[in-house]
Amino acid sequence: MTGWDRLDAQILIALVGLPGSCKSTVGRHLARRLQLPLMDSDQVIESRLGCPIREYFEREGEASFRDVEAAVLDELTQAGPGVLSTGGGAVLRLENRQRLHARSRVIYLKSTPEELFRRLRHDRNRPLLQVADPKARLRELYVVRDPLYREAAHFTIETGRPSVAMLVNMIVMQLELADPHPTPPESQPARQWRNRVG
């Protein structure tokens, strides 16, 4: 087994990307491959709220939801080794990007708006996509969020059309090449952060 295919990999791997970029699916398979616990921030948030995110979003507004999301991400990024799947807007707040980058290895699963539209065109559970032109909305989200995902990420993986198994292999390979002997990311040099409002 390689350095990343082992039980004692003491690291948290966080997946970020736009809605529909396969974070939850890839997260499940990656966690199984590395024999690490899986955490899904949206599932934890819904459990905490006691209702679907879409319902809370509509009732309380985005700002309130982002407050809850930030608190949950702060907790999960200190929960120890595992694979963390995040919500599409997790990178909007500066503190979230800083915590994710400092406390985990962040993988940006990059998908084009066109790819995302093909996957999500029949999905009615994405609050931000319940608009007249969801493809245009995905393009807008991509323009705003792509730089933020890149800022938070240690690695970017183009999702394109590879199978989930191939994506998992690509992630493991990136981690092995960059750091064959995993160590906590807090030991890495500090980086400069741009303060963005989103």
Written in H, E and C, the secondary structure of the chain is CCCCCCCCCCCEEEEECCCCCCHHHHHHHHHHHHCCCEEEHHHHHHHHHCCCHHHHHHHHCHHHHHHHHHHHHHHHCCCCCEEEECCCCCCCCHHHHHHHHHHCEEEEEECCHHHHHHHHCCCCCCHHHCCCCHHHHHHHHHHHHHHHHHHHCCEEEECCCCCHHHHHHHHHHHHHHHCCCCCCHHHCCCCCCCCCCC
State pLDDT tens for residues 114-141.
Answer: 888 887 766 666 656 666 687 888 899 9
CA 120 to chain CA centroid, Å, is 17
- 153: Cα within 13 Å, side-chain hemisphere: 21
Residue 125, pLDDT score: 61
Residue 1, pLDDT score: 44
Residue 198, pLDDT score: 40
Whether 116 contacts 18, CB under 8 Å:
yes
The residue written with tokens 């007249």 in the block is 132
CATH of domain 12-181: 3.40.50.300
Give the CA diameter of the chain: 49
| Radius of gyration over every alpha carbon of the chain, rounded to an integer in angstroms | 16
pLDDT in single tens digits along all 198 residues of the chain: 445 454 345 789 999 999 888 899 999 999 999 999 999 999 999 999 999 988 998 899 989 999 999 999 999 999 989 999 999 999 999 999 999 999 999 999 999 988 888 877 666 666 566 666 878 888 999 999 999 999 999 999 998 777 899 999 999 998 888 765 555 555 455 455 555 544
State pLDDT tens for residues 146-164.
Answer: 999 999 999 999 987 778 9
Do β-strands 12-16 and 82-85 pair in parallel, antiparallel, or remain unpaired? parallel
Phi and psi based region of residue 87 (left: phi greater than 0; alpha: psi -120 to 50; beta: remaining): beta
Q: pTM of the predicted model, to two decimals?
A: 0.84
User: Could you tell me the residue ranges of all domains in the chain?
Assistant: 12-181
